[in-house]
Amino acid sequence: MMKHKKKEPLFRISKSGFVPLHKAWAIRIGALLLALVVCAFIIYSIIKLNPLKVYGTMFQGAFGTNKRMWVTIRDTMMLLCIGLGLAPAFKMRFWNIGAEGQVLVGGIASAACMIYLRGKMSSTAVLPIMFVCSMLAGAIWGFIPGYFKAKYGTNETLFTLMMNYIAIQLTSYFVALWENPYGSNTVGVINSRDKFGWFPPIFGQMYGLNVIIVLVLVVFIYIYLNYTKQGFEISVVGDSENTAKYCGIDVKRVIIRTMIISGAICGIAGFLAVAGAGHTISVSTAGGRGFTTIIVAWMAKFNSFVMVLFSALLVFLEKGAMEIASRYQLSDYVSNMIIGIILFFILGSEFFINFKVRLRQRYAKDKSQ
């Protein structure tokens, strides 16, 4: 006979302590495989296609041709760049939801240089100017919420979010100013004839410069966050403001400085989007990436090298989904469903890394332990 005094819950969840790296990654990869299995069932039962063929198609969509691979790389770099911008702010527990706007103002600055400096200098000379202008524009967009947070303790989530809408309106204004043709509300490809202000091909690769700039940033952010005094200050402020104050860290200064850096890197992403990819400016230049990257930064725990992986995964899923829609003439919703399931499992796996879940054990067995 077993008598329970108090019924034990079916699941017991407890915080797990240190999880070795290989185990954490085993859980993540397991989650990914499980997601693929669940998707396979859905693909097979709803759209009656061979799931393996569908996955093959996704892979082809992202890497099928040399061109596609480079577009995938370009978009990965773009996502990664914004993620790198968000990492310092997030590590400081400053919720910068404003990447979208910071990218847009950076893009506006680049587009302005392409339009107004044309004919005044060479295309190679204008690129550094565009780089600096975009960085400054993004820095200003990051500075404003940083300053108000440091000075008046405003809510940075709302503040940065609102700054996005201002940036979008600003972009609309410039699109109307530069529209081509008149009344069409699009700027079109800027300087399509002489390619003034476009990234030059590097080693014959149109997007070579995008890769170089972002990879330099990856290394920079990694070192900055992990091996510099400022990086240390950021993590102390993030963990506990009071501790930081006690250590004699000027918290306000750190907040403002970090937000300037965060915004500046997002501004660079705007430069990449305009000079290195789209050669135009529109309200969709950032394309929601400012929000998508929040997932990237979080999943990678602000480790810039891990961010490369997650950016690539997200872009791969997006390209793959588009190819499925095109190849099998499906609505986008089906492929978005697959993306959703995969993301759900990967994000969910973090729970199983951070927490231990134990099933209710038999009373007798429990007692004997």
Partner 1 sequence: MKKLFTVLFVLVFALTVVAVNAEAAAEDFKLGVILVHDENSGYDMAHIDGVKGAQEKLGLTDDQIIFKYNIPETEACYDNAVDLAEQGCDLIISDSYGHQSYMMQAAAEYPDVIFLAATGDTAWKEPMENVANFFPHTYESRYVSGIVAGMKLKELLDSGKVTDPYVGYVGAYPYAEVVSGYTAFFLGIRSIVPDAHMDVQYTNSWYDPKAEGEAANALISRGCVIIGQHADSTGAPSAIQAAKDSGKIVYSVGYNISMLAVAPTAALTSAQNRWAALYTPTIEKAMKGEAIPKDYSVGYANDAVQIAPLGPEVAEGTQEAVDSAIAGIIDGSLNVFDTANYTVKGEKITTFLALDTDGDWVGDTGEAIEDGIFVESKLISAPYFSLRIDGITELTNE
**Nearer CB in complex with partner 1: 3/67:** 67
SS3 of residue 221 by DSSP: helix
208 part of the interface to partner 1, by CB under 8 A:
no
Per the CB < 8 A criterion, the answer to whether 137 and 91 are in contact is no
What's CA 179's distance to the chain center, in Å?
A: 29
Select from 32, 38, 71, 144 the one that contacts partner 1 (CB under 8 A): 71
From 81-89, 118-126, 248-256, 323-331, give the range in contact with partner 1 by CB under 8 A.
323-331
* Alpha carbon of residue 337 to chain centroid: 20
Check binding of 169 to partner 1 (CB under 8 A): no
CB 8 within 8 A of CB 357: no
Options 50, 155, 185, 226; binder of partner 1; rule CB under 8 A: 185
Q: Which stretch binds partner 1 (CB under 8 A): 37-45, 50-58, 178-186, 306-314?
A: 178-186
280 forms part of the interface with partner 1 (CB under 8 A): yes
Contact flag: residue 67 with partner 1 (CB under 8 A): yes
Under the binding rule (CB under 8 A), the answer on residue 252 touching partner 1 is no
**Residue 309, exposed/middle/buried by CB under 10 A (0-12, 13-18, 19+)?**
middle
DSSP string for residues in 2-64:
---SSPPPSEEEEE-----HHHHHHHHHHHHHHHHHHHHHHHHHHS---HHHHHHHHHHHHHS
Interaction of residue 65 with partner 1, rule CB under 8 A: yes
Instruction: Tell me: does residue 192 bind partner 1 (CB under 8 A).
Output: yes
| 329 near partner 1, rule: CB under 8 A | yes
277 binds partner 1 (CB under 8 A): yes
* Pick from 216, 264, 339: nearest CA to 96: 264
In sequence order, what DSSP letters do the residues of 318-336 get, joined into one string? HHHHHHHHHHTT--HHHHH
Closer residue to partner 1, CB minimum distance, 9 or 201? 201
Q: List Cβ neighbours of 158 (8 Å cut-off, separation of 6 or more).
A: none
Which of 205, 235 has the CB closer to partner 1? 205
The site for partner 1 (CB under 8 A) is made up of 65, 67-68, 71, 180-186, 188-189, 192, 277-280, 282, 284-285, 287, 322, 325-326, 329, 331-332
